[in-house]
Amino acid sequence: MTSFRLFAPLFLALTMPAPGHAQDRHVPASQAELRLSYAPIVQRVTPAVVNVYAAKVIQHRHPLLEDPVFRRFFGVPGGQPEQMQRSLGSGVMVDPSGLVVTNNHVIEGADQVKIALPDKREFEAEIVLKDTRTDLAVLRLKDVHEKFPTLDFANSDELQVGDLVMAIGNPFGVGQTVTHGIVSALARTQVGITDYQFFIQTDAAINPGNSGGALVDITGRLAGINTAIFSRSGGSQGIGFAIPANMVRVVVASAKNGGKAVQRPWLGARLQTITPEIAETIGLKAPAGALVASVAVGSPAARAGLKLSDLIVLIDGQPVEDPNAFDYRFATRPLGGTSQLEVQRNGRPIKLTVPLEAAPDTGRDELAITAPSPFQGAKVANISPALADELHLDYGAEGVVVIALADNGMAANVGFRKGDIILAVNNKKIVKTADLEQAVREARRLWRITLMRGGQQIQVMLGG
């Protein structure tokens, strides 16, 4: 604090304009002028960056409060105490009608969402679409009758390391803030926060509250959505990650078309990373590409002629560094067309044409289990190709899979996980959700459950 007071007068003297010499700001006409100030770009883009406030009601459960005798003796009223849990993030207006894109983790589980504009006005918002696979969500302002400023999408594939970028959001809730830096790296695939690992890395300061805000390029276009930071302290350490605009564009387009889920192309093949050992074995100079580990019968990959042990090196002329890079590029392709793959097969280059089709997703028959049993609080579904792709299950998997767990449910408490495949209950084979629904109706003191987790079959015995 002493240091700040000592240097604060010097700081002000260096930054405050002299009386009568107001700065003459104008849109830069050349690269040389652009270096003088970012202000013209900032003034153009900040009206489209908003604050997102999400709130949900949390019930605090205490074992003693469940006991009616305890409540009556101590005069504790019935019901559970509630607390409002709030989260703060940022968002970007992407359609003049009031469509906002933000991070899914900002609004996850929210009972109420509000949007605050830079001019301090606040609006209630509805959740139009949530996409956990990309950690993106699209919101719509309620009861609005005006046009809002928006940001245009950049082609994030054109970004280069060293390009200037600015991050705009509401860090720590202090108010709209602009920071600048460069693109530090591209195609970061080891971040581990979404299914599609292909992040823009930047040293522009990003902090808690920036999530869902804009990463803009030097032309003022949306290059990405700020999503995460690498930090040991909780604050910015110069390593921030943004979801590329080309992926954001796909999610926004699905919301605009009225979809409740994002429709993406389905390859129908499992891909494997090339390790240095594998590269040496198959005679590659460097460990790059995506190795085909399996192909589903009748899938687009199978119909295109993709085979086991093929090495995918290019998609539509763009290099494939690893399976994550392929997944990202394939997922950003529009449905209905085709993609051109170049693969290495036995050392020879082969070109294949893959149709861009959505995975079949019929017959899920989702079921929320409420009956008293070890499965209480679990939501389950029949496995479809789309669900297998979403949960990274083997395409040949059969049975009923756990797709969600209530936080305070019995299923979560006993250790079930999302992605667990229920094979049998009390020696009865579970083929579809109706089988599990029937099984949990029978009161039991002891439950024998067979499940598949991560490719391994597990036997579980639980007391009723």
Residues in binding site for substrate: 105, 135, 209-211
Residues in the chain: 464
Indicate if 145 belongs to the active site. no
Which residue of the set 87, 156, 184, 211 is catalytic? 211
Contact at 8 Å (CB) between 91 and 49? yes
Contact at 8 Å (CB) between 133 and 196? yes
Residues in the annotated binding site:
105, 135, 209-211
Task: Give dist(CA 308, CA 14) in Å, integer.
Answer: 65
Q: For residue 170, give every residue at least 6 positions away whose Cβ sits within 8 Å of its Cβ, in sequence order, or none.
A: 51, 88, 89, 90, 176, 177, 209, 210, 213
Task: Choose among 128, 259, 243: nearest CA to 197.
Answer: 243
CA quadruple 213, 406, 56, 63: dihedral sign: negative
Which residue of the set 87, 131, 135, 254 is catalytic? 135
Long-range Cβ contacts of 313-317 (<8 Å, 24+ apart): 313/288, 313/289, 313/342, 313/343, 313/344, 313/349, 314/340, 314/341, 314/342, 315/339, 315/340, 315/341, 315/342, 316/340
Task: Give dist(CA 173, CA 207) in Å, integer.
Answer: 10
Indicate if 211 belongs to the active site. yes
Which residue of the set 87, 90, 105, 299 is catalytic? 105
Contact at 8 Å (CB) between 167 and 204? yes
CA quadruple 391, 393, 398, 399: dihedral sign: negative
Contact at 8 Å (CB) between 312 and 341? yes
Q: For residue 286, give every residue at least 6 positions away whose Cβ sits within 8 Å of its Cβ, in sequence order, or none.
A: 279
Beta bridge partners of 451: 422, 458
Indicate if 105 belongs to the active site. yes
Please identify every residue annotated as catalytic. Answer: 105, 135, 211
